[in-house]
Chain A
Amino acid sequence: EDKVVQSPLSLVVHEGDTVTLNCSYEVTNFRSLLWYKQEKKAPTFLFMLTSSGIEKKSGRLSSILDKKELFSILNITATQTGDSAVYLCAKGGNKLVFGAGTILRVKS
């Protein structure tokens, strides 16, 4: 059975800090790994990673995939209070398999 594990479960930082969120996976038929941000209800899409070693970047957020070691990281630099959310990673495909998420709280 496919398994996605995220760490840490929760994190509290101060504005301006840099954070790294981790996602490891054990899956069959890997196609992609996705990152979502969930603030109140709807998870919003951040990144889709399919190739190892290629960094995806959007503003202060970036993510990279290591297909050999079966993990991905999501980095957020210069954090802001608006980054407070649950960050979810998921194995892609017909059926997304999600981790439990990392709760990030950014204090001002």
Chain B
Amino acid sequence: DAGVTQSPTHLIKTRGQQVTLRCSPKSGHDTVSWYQQALGQGPQFIFQYYEEEERQRGNFPDRFSGHQFPNYSSELNVNALLLGDSALYLCASSGNRGLSYNEQFFGPGTRLTVL
């Protein structure tokens, strides 16, 4: 049973560029959440997708956008990259039933470096 997968593993971009990160949820999960983890901090919630729609959003600017596909996989897009966007981007998936709703399983992350 494959867990949550993310690609790419590492990415280096320059300021002003755009980036797309990808996530495939754990088998049987239909909800995908994205988090940004800066060095030395806990993950910060960016947004969550369910049924191909953004269900909830954290305090991130509109430069951060996402998409969920019919197969439940998801993309995170960041436009006009800033140095401060350098972080580990984590994707988490969960089922949308009862308490399992709260058990979010994380992927290995994408390390984004903005130069």
Measured in the bound complex, the distance between the Cα atoms of B44 and A98 in whole Å is: 7
Residue from the list B41, B42, B107 in contact with A90, Cβ < 8 A: B42
A residues near B2, Cβ cutoff 8 Å: none
Q: Which of B14-22, B67-75, B77-85, B96-104 contacts A (4 or more CB under 8 A)?
A: B96-104
Contact A41 B109 (CB under 8 A): yes
Tell me if A's interface is mostly helix, strand, loop or mixed.
loop
Interface size on A, residues (CB 8 A): 24
Within 8 A of A (CB), among B1-58: 4, 33, 35, 40-45, 48, 55-56, 58
Measured in the bound complex, the distance between the Cα atoms of B92 and A50 in whole Å is: 20
Residue from the list B42, B56, B105, B106 in contact with A95, Cβ < 8 A: B56
Contact with B along A80-96 (1 / 0, CB 8 A): 00000000101011111
